[in-house]
Amino acid sequence: MLTPGPLTTSDVTRQAMLVDWGSWDPEFAAVTREVCDWITQIATTTRDDLRCVPLQGSGTFAVEAAVRTLVPAGGSIVVLVNGAYGRRLAEICRRSGRLPIVHETAEDVPPDPADLAALLAAHPEASHVAVVHCETSTGMLNPLAAIADAAGAAGRRLIVDAMSSFGVLPVHAEHPAVDAIVAASGKGLEGVPGMGFVLLPEAVLLASSGRCDSLAMDLSDQYTYLKRTGQWRFTPPTHVVAALRSALEQYVAEGGIAARRQRYQANGDTLLGEMTALGFRSFLPAELQAPIIYTFHAPRDERWHFADLYREVKDRGFILYPGKLTQAETFRVGCIGAVTTEDLKSAVVAIAQSLAALGVAQI
């Protein structure tokens, strides 16, 4: 699976799902506690007031929970958009009755912190800023630290969608402007999908009590209940949590964030090198590219159809990802998950063989 979640998991992680757990079981409560402690330690080792609040569902559920728990209904929030996940964030705000002030740049252009500062000066009513750290629809790494500085200087709070970067790249959890960092089980931590989580300062969690206008997505309630009883409100995704504990054990054994980043960077460098040798052009320049997922321009050959390549490459053992851009025809290849440079080399060989089988000559 060369996809950015669900992704390739290790045999050990999949085996961790062979046990059924009772949600009320003290041993399962300990698993939840361990998972949350590990996640907090991955985010920061110097700050002790951050709490990890797990939430059932895919990553989007956790993003929506963060917005609805932190931003008051009817409140305004600046949303930085340069891809599909930024647009989804703005849509979450709109649907939940928070007013997004959208600052959009092209899909290959990061937001400029000076523009954000000017926008915040013009919008004193916006209490928060939301940004996607790695915009997975292109693979772009947005300048999180500079954006946090601009938000902090204007006295605003930051919500970070760090879904595909968490555990791989630093998420600047120590920055005083950061209110929430959102990620999920089935991305860079290499668990299976089904659990999101939000990291927040405890004071922010307590201060937001009663603000959320959704029962199931109230992070403050989830936190208080978990802290008091050791149990999740509502049925937890038990097998997902057990798999995540195993994946985190393997993450620590591999060498933590530095080792994970190094392996993904080697994967990405290999992928980009081999694809370029075939004649493919990367959508993003190297300096904007995160080592997570890569976007390539579609070949100009009239025999090119992504669905055909997908099928041919799948027959050869690899799963690719379609493009998600509005401005260009592209497709994507992820380099995260339990995969190595050898896997990426074999994948590019499979792509070359598939193109030949399809008669796509002009790349």
Ligand X SMILES: *Cc1c(COP(=O)(O)O)cnc(C)c1O
Site residues (vs ligand X, CB under 6 A): 4-5, 58-60, 63, 85, 132, 136, 161, 163-164, 184
Check residue 286 and report its DSSP letter: G
The residue at minimum Cβ distance from ligand X is 59
Q: How far is the CB of 299 from ligand X (least distance, A)?
A: 26
Q: What's the one-letter identity of residue 329?
A: E
Q: 338 with 9: CB under 8 angstroms?
A: yes
Say how far apart CA 162 and CA 338 lie, in whole Å: 19
Handedness of CA 111, 113, 119, 125 (dihedral sign): positive
CB of 231 to ligand X, least distance (A): 24
3-class SS at 170?
coil
Q: Are 144 and 173 in contact (CB under 8 A)?
A: no
- For residues 71 and 168, which CB has a smaller minimum distance to ligand X in the complex? 168
- Looking at the Cβ atoms of 161 and 221, the one nearer to ligand X is 161
CA 273 from centre of chain? 25
Query: Would you say 13 or 137 has its CB closer to ligand X?
Result: 137
Minimum separation from the CB atom of position 169 to ligand X (A): 12
Asked whether the beta carbons of 294 and 4 are under 8 A apart, the reply is no
Residue closer to ligand X (CB basis): 62 or 126 = 62
Q: Which is nearer to ligand X, 83 or 299 (CB)?
A: 83
Q: 55: how many CB neighbours lie within 10 A of its CB?
A: 28
Residue 135 beta carbon to ligand X: minimum distance, rounded to whole angstroms:
6
Of 236 and 334, the one with the shorter C-beta distance to ligand X is 334
Supply the minimum distance, in Å, between the C-beta of residue 27 and ligand X. Answer: 28
- Note the Cα 97 to chain centre separation in Å: 24
Whole-number minimum distance, CB 150 to ligand X, in Å? 20
